Amino acid sequence: MRHPLIDIPELVRLDSDQGIIRIPHELDVPFTPRVRVIVDTAEFRRLSQITQLGLVSRIYPGAMHTRFEHALGVFHNALRYLWQLGKDRRFCEVVDCHTAEVLMVAALLHDLGHWPFCHPIEDMGLADLPPHEQYAAEFLSPDRELAQVLCDSWHIDPAEVLDVLVARTNSPRLRLLRSILSGPIDIDKMDYLERDSLHCGVPYGRNFDKQRLIQSLVLNEAGDGLAISSKGKTAAELMVFARYVMFSEVYWHHAVRSATSMFARTFFEVHRELDLRQLFQLSEPETIHLLRDRVRDTACEPLLAGIFGPKRQLFKRVAEYSHTQHRDMYDLLARRPFDFLVRVASRLAADLSPIVGEPLSGTDILIDAPPPHREVEFHVDIYFSKERRYRPLQEVSPVVEALARRQFDDYVKRVRLFAHPRCAAKIANLSDLSRHVEQAVAKA
Q: What residues contact 329, with CB distance under 8 A and at least 6 apart?
A: 321, 415, 434, 437, 438
Residue 242 in any domain: the answer is yes
pTM score, whole prediction: 0.95
Percent of the chain with pLDDT over 90: 82
Q: Which has the closest alpha carbon to 179: 171, 115, 240, 35?
A: 171
C-alpha distances out from residue 99 to 104, 129, 191, 217, 400, Å: 9, 31, 22, 18, 32
Q: pLDDT at position 4, please?
A: 84
pLDDT, average across residues 301-324: 96
State the residue range of the domain holding 291.
254-370+413-443
User: Is 304 in the same domain as 193?
Assistant: no
Least confident of 45-49, 151-155, 304-308, 370-374: 370-374
User: Is 436 in the same domain as 288?
Assistant: yes
Q: pLDDT at position 404, please?
A: 62
Residue 1 in any domain: the answer is no
Q: pLDDT at position 131, please?
A: 73
User: Is 391 in the same domain as 419?
Assistant: no
For the stretch 423-444, pLDDT in tens is 999 999 999 999 999 999 999 8
* Phi, psi values for residue 370, rounded to 5°: -55, 135
pLDDT over threshold 80, residue 204 = yes
Q: pLDDT at position 318, please?
A: 98
Alpha helix segments (H runs only) across 253-316:
254-270, 276-279, 284-294, 301-308
Q: What residues contact 28, with CB distance under 8 A and at least 6 apart?
A: 16, 17, 20, 21, 22
Q: Which has the closest alpha carbon to 256: 202, 310, 219?
A: 202
Alpha helix segments (H runs only) across 86-186:
89-94, 97-108, 118-123, 132-139, 145-149, 158-165, 172-181
Q: pLDDT at position 167, please?
A: 86
Give the confidence band of 354 by pLDDT, cuts at 50, 70, 90. Answer: very high
pLDDT, average across residues 206-233: 95
d(CA 240, CA 415): 23
pLDDT, average across residues 375-393: 88
d(CA 272, CA 10): 45
Residue 64 in any domain: the answer is yes
CB 236 within 8 A of CB 185: yes
User: Is 196 in the same domain as 322?
Assistant: no
User: Is 176 in the same domain as 247?
Assistant: yes
CB 161 within 8 A of CB 113: no
Report the run of H or E that residue 11 belongs to, with start and end.
Answer: helix 9-12
Give the confidence band of 44 by pLDDT, cuts at 50, 70, 90. Answer: very high
User: Is 240 in the same domain as 258?
Assistant: no
Give the confidence band of 407 by pLDDT, cuts at 50, 70, 90. Answer: low
For the stretch 99-112, pLDDT in tens is 999 999 999 999 99
pLDDT, average across residues 345-365: 96
User: Is 388 in the same domain as 437?
Assistant: no
Give the confidence band of 283 by pLDDT, cuts at 50, 70, 90. Answer: very high
Q: How many domains does the chain have?
A: 2
pLDDT, average across residues 261-267: 98
Percent of the chain with pLDDT over 70: 98
Least confident of 12-16, 294-298, 406-410: 406-410
- 359 half-sphere exposure, CB direction, 13 A CA radius: 1
Q: pLDDT at position 376, please?
A: 66
User: Is 230 in the same domain as 295?
Assistant: no
User: Is 294 in the same domain as 419?
Assistant: yes
Bridge partners of 389? 384
CB 340 within 8 A of CB 444: yes
Give the confidence band of 90 by pLDDT, cuts at 50, 70, 90. Answer: very high
Bridge partners of 20? 30
Residue 127 in any domain: the answer is yes
For the stretch 124-133, pLDDT in tens is 998 877 777 7
The string of DSSP letters for 194-263 reads: HHHHHHHT-SGGG-S-HHHHHHTEEE-TTSSSEEEEGGGHHHHHHHHHHHHHHIIIIIT-HHHHHHHHHH
d(CA 111, CA 253): 24
Least confident of 4-8, 235-239, 256-260, 342-346: 4-8
pLDDT, average across residues 50-59: 97
d(CA 50, CA 62): 15
User: Is 314 in the same domain as 237?
Assistant: no
pLDDT, average across residues 221-242: 94
Residue 3 in any domain: the answer is no
pLDDT over threshold 60, residue 405 = no
Q: pLDDT at position 1, please?
A: 61
Give the confidence band of 42 by pLDDT, cuts at 50, 70, 90. Answer: very high
Residue 208 in any domain: the answer is yes
pLDDT over threshold 60, residue 343 = yes
For the stretch 144-194, pLDDT in tens is 999 999 999 999 999 999 999 988 889 999 999 999 999 889 999 999 999
- 253 half-sphere exposure, CB direction, 13 A CA radius: 16
User: Is 207 in the same domain as 236?
Assistant: yes
User: Is 220 in the same domain as 297?
Assistant: no
Report the run of H or E that residue 339 belongs to, with start and end.
Answer: helix 338-356
Residue 2 in any domain: the answer is no
pLDDT over threshold 80, residue 403 = no
What CATH number is attached to the domain comprising 143? 1.10.3210.10
pLDDT over threshold 90, residue 218 = yes
Q: Which has the closest alpha carbon to 345: 361, 328, 367?
A: 367
